[in-house]
């Protein structure tokens, strides 16, 4: 039998060898696990070395973001009021802006940041941050379903708990419509994927390019919350009583007319009385 014949014989034996190996494998794995359990569990020096190492690392800057990185729950541990699915729900039609700017993108204006942030729950960023320019785009506003992306002028839900979000809809040539997106979403995703390879200058340039259609002066409270304001609440399907409420000056006046709006404690609506 030549070398070729031996190779053929080995190939013929291979299935049996494989079967034997598969038979013995669990025993080998069990033995390895047992040995690890008995001989390689951390004992005092390892435990303490690890503890000392962790203490050192925690002081260092490497763990500055430890708490933020460990936070997985929708609400922080010490949040007292119960939250519901509206805080945690996935928004499949979320604007790409939120990928970088987060759920609460407004932080500068102390007076209105939280109020602006709650608008993010039912308005796409582009509604306020890409002012419609009549000469450039023919735009109207409509509800876009968070799940299906269907465009509608009918409103469902109430007080920020809408299954759809208001988006600017652009009427293109040939009277076709599409969601107006001032930021090129594909380019933004590419930027996020490859930004580690860019120099700081390139990153700055890319950011400027991505935000080129963002208005320097976004739509503010008083632009919408007035009669014949920036948004046509009637076309968006709001009931007349709600439109009257949205057009009233309560919030706008509170924000724009007063540096601080004092809640009158003199007429504290019966706080001093015990509730039965």
- How far is residue 247's CA from residue 13's CA, in Å, rounded to a whole number? 85
Q: How far is the CB of 70 from other proteins (least distance, A)?
A: 10
Answer left, alpha or beta for residue 228, where phi above 0 means left and psi between -120 and 50 means alpha. Answer: left
Nearer Cβ to other proteins (21/118): 118
- How far is residue 253's CA from residue 273's CA, in Å, rounded to a whole number? 30
Residues 10-69 that bind other proteins (CB under 8 A): 31, 34-35, 38-39, 43-45, 47-48, 51-52, 54-55, 58, 65, 67-68
Applying CB under 8 A, the site for other proteins has a residue count of 75
- The piece of 10-18, 205-213, 225-233, 250-258 that touches other proteins (CB under 8 A) is 250-258
Per-residue interface string for the shown chain with other proteins, residues 158-187, x marking contact by CB under 8 A? -xxx--------------------------
CA-based torsion, 230, 233, 234, 235: positive or negative: positive
Asked if residue 150 binds other proteins (CB under 8 A), the reply is no
Nearer Cβ to other proteins (3/273): 273
Asked if residue 261 binds other proteins (CB under 8 A), the reply is yes
Q: Chain-centre distance of CA 118, in angstroms?
A: 13
Q: Is 129 exposed, middle or buried (0-12, 13-18, 19+ CB in 10 A)?
A: buried
Asked if residue 95 binds other proteins (CB under 8 A), the reply is no
Q: How far is the CB of 172 from other proteins (least distance, A)?
A: 31
Residues 96-115 that bind other proteins (CB under 8 A): 102-104, 106-107, 110-115
Please provide residue 166's backbone torsions phi and psi, each rounded to the nearest 5 degrees.
Answer: -80, 125
Across the strands, what pairs with 142? 167
């Amino acid at each position: 039998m030549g070398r070729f014949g031996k190779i053929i014989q080995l190939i013929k034996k291979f299935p049996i060898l494989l079967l034997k190996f598969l038979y013995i494998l669990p025993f080998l794995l069990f033995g390895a696990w047992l040995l690890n359990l008995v001989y390689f569990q951390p004992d005092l020096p390892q435990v303490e070395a690890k503890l000392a190492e962790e203490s050192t690392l925690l002081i260092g800057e490497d763990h500055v973001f430890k708490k933020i990185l460990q936070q997985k729950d929708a609400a922080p541990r010490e949040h007292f009021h119960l939250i519901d699915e509206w805080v945690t729900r996935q928004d499949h039609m979320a604007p790409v802006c939120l990928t970088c700017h987060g759920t609460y993108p407004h932080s500068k204006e102390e007076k209105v940041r939280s109020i602006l942030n709650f608008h993010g729950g039912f308005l796409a960023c582009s509604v306020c941050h890409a002012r419609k320019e009549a000469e450039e785009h023919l735009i109207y506003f409509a509800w876009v379903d968070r799940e299906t992306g269907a465009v509608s002028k009918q409103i469902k839900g109430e007080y920020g708990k809408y299954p759809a979000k208001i988006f600017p809809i652009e009427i293109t040539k040939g009277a076709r419509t599409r969601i107006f997106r001032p930021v090129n979403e594909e380019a933004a995703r590419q930027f996020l994927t490859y930004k580690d390879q860019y120099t700081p200058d390139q990153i700055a340039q890319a950011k400027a390019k991505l935000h080129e259609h963002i208005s320097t002066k976004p739509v503010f409270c008083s632009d919408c919350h007035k009669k014949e304001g920036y948004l046509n609440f009637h076309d968006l399907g709001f009931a007349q009583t709600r439109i009257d409420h949205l057009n009233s000056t309560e919030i706008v006046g509170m924000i724009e007319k007063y540096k601080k709006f004092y809640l009158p404690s003199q007429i504290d609506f019966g706080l001093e009385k015990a509730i039965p």
